[in-house]
């Protein structure tokens, strides 16, 4: 199959996208596919430059907003529909995270061009990116989620509507970029100011203590539930992408009844947002045994430290097979292939 990986981009998750692309490229080639790579801000990456560009390494801090603004001035979004590597592909594999690559913008363009692509469609991508709308849909679907309010909000209003402590975060951002755990009213305004650097909408969400769990949904089914034990109180950017900063356990050590409940809630959240072939849904499990859905990831990371490949491995699916199935899921969405029974 001719597969073009679309990666890079100008979001603060650019490094994560390039690292995902590095792993996906190797896996798809292992599976026997012809693979080319396109950076959405720089165009096709020549084979001679692929290794240097797809470093597979993520710095402990995301790229600066200023550096990303410079990249965005070179943005090639309007040209993507004319690039041969896109037009000639049988499938475009979206190794993009955050920004225009995950909010439905590029998905809409690819729909116009008529090229199958991995992940979710424009509407589902937009719903998943907007945490406020996602949480509203979770509740309508019977998936518990922590109480929240949207800024502008005073510290006193936060106390009354949400209660301390809270998590302050950009409403449309991933990888916990711009996120702060706030325990004291005097720290609230600074946390909102940080979140506003990454998004014009800021969510203030009740902090739920407990265990961090995650559910990967693949082809409509939940893979083994995983648990993340970060070295920080929050599974933040550094813990996600720095080796040794977190411990991941697949499958999670849960009683069967709780494992099934978490998996079922993950599928229900996936369906509430009308997501595509795969996603990852994150939860907190309280000491009292209650689940709270934090968010759904429509294009979860596929780096060597990422959670989806670990969940797949726990289900007996090796990484090359996982990437192959994600590609074939894009063809299924277009009605060009049927997923073989397994």
Span 72-104, pLDDT tens digits? 666 667 788 889 999 999 999 999 998 889 999
Q: Could you confirm whether 297 is annotated as catalytic?
A: yes
- pLDDT, tens only, 33-85: 999 999 998 899 998 888 888 866 666 666 676 776 666 666 667 788 889 99
- Annotated active-site residue in 178, 226, 266, 301: 301
Question: Which token pair is 270?
Answer: 């996936």
Number of C-beta neighbours around residue 270 at 10 A = 29
Contact of 201 with 282, CB cutoff 8 Å: no
Q: Could you confirm whether 73 is annotated as catalytic?
A: no
- Annotated active-site residue in 85, 297, 325, 329: 297
Contact of 212 with 284, CB cutoff 8 Å: yes
3-state secondary structure of 62: coil
- Annotated active-site residue in 282, 284, 325, 329: 282
Helix axes 319-333, 307-314, angle to 10 degrees: 100
Helix axes 14-30, 319-333, angle to 10 degrees: 100
Per-residue pLDDT averaged across 241-252, rounded?
88
Q: Could you confirm whether 198 is annotated as catalytic?
A: no
Domains defined for the chain, CATH in brackets: 2-119 (3.40.50.20), 129-144+209-329 (3.30.470.20), 148-206 (3.30.1490.20)
Q: Could you confirm whether 183 is annotated as catalytic?
A: no
- Annotated active-site residue in 280, 284, 325, 328: 280
Mean of all residue pLDDT scores within the chain: 90
Q: Could you confirm whether 280 is annotated as catalytic?
A: yes
Q: What is the pTM of this model?
A: 0.90
Q: Could you confirm whether 13 is annotated as catalytic?
A: yes
Cα atoms found within 13 Å of the Cα of residue 141, Cβ hemisphere only: 20
Q: What is the CA radius of gyration of the chain?
A: 19
CA distance 223 to 182: 33
CA distance 284 to 266: 12
Q: Could you confirm whether 282 is annotated as catalytic?
A: yes
Contact of 16 with 301, CB cutoff 8 Å: yes
State the pLDDT at residue 56: 60
Question: Which token pair is 41?
Answer: 């801000």
Report residue 178: phi and psi, to 5°. Answer: 75, 15
Q: Is the pLDDT of residue 117 over 90?
A: yes
State the pLDDT at residue 340: 43
Q: Is the pLDDT of residue 266 over 80?
A: yes
- Annotated active-site residue in 120, 175, 246, 306: 175
State the pLDDT at residue 59: 65
């Amino acid at each position: 199959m001719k597969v073009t990986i679309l990666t890079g981009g100008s979001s603060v998750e650019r490094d994560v996208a390039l690292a995902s692309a590095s792993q996906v490229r190797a896996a798809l080639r292992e599976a026997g596919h012809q693979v080319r790579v396109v950076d959405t801000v720089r165009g096709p990456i020549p084979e001679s430059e692929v290794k240097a560009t797809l470093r597979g390494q993520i710095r402990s801090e995301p790229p600066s907003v200023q550096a990303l603004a410079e990249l965005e001035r070179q943005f090639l979004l309007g040209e993507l529909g004319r690039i041969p590597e896109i037009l000639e592909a049988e499938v475009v594999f979206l190794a993009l995270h955050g920004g225009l690559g995950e909010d439905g913008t590029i998905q809409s363009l690819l729909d116009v061009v008529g090229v199958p692509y991995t992940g979710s469609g424009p509407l589902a991508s937009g719903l998943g990116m907007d945490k406020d709308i996602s949480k509203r849909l979770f509740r309508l679907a019977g998936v518990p989620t922590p109480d929240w309010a949207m800024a502008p909000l005073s510290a006193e209003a936060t106390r009354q509507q949400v209660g301390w402590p809270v998590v302050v975060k950009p409403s449309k951002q991933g990888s916990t970029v711009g996120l702060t755990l706030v325990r004291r009213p005097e720290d609230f305004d600074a946390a909102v100011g940080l979140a506003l650097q990454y998004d014009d909408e800021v969510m203030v969400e009740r902090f739920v203590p407990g265990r961090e769990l995650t559910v990967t949904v693949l082809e409509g089914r939940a893979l083994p539930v995983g648990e993340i034990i970060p070295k920080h109180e929050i599974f933040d950017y550094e813990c996600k992408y720095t080796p040794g900063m977190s411990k991941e356990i697949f499958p999670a050590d849960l009683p069967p009844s709780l494992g099934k409940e978490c998996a079922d809630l993950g599928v229900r959240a996936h369906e509430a947002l009308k997501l595509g072939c795969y996603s990852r849904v994150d939860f907190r499990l309280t000491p009292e045994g209650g689940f709270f859905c934090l968010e759904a990831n429509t294009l979860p990371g596929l780096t060597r430290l990422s959670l989806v490949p670990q969940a797949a491995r726990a289900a007996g699916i090796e990484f090359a097979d996982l990437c192959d199935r994600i590609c074939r899921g894009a063809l299924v969405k277009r009605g060009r292939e049927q997923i073989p029974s397994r």
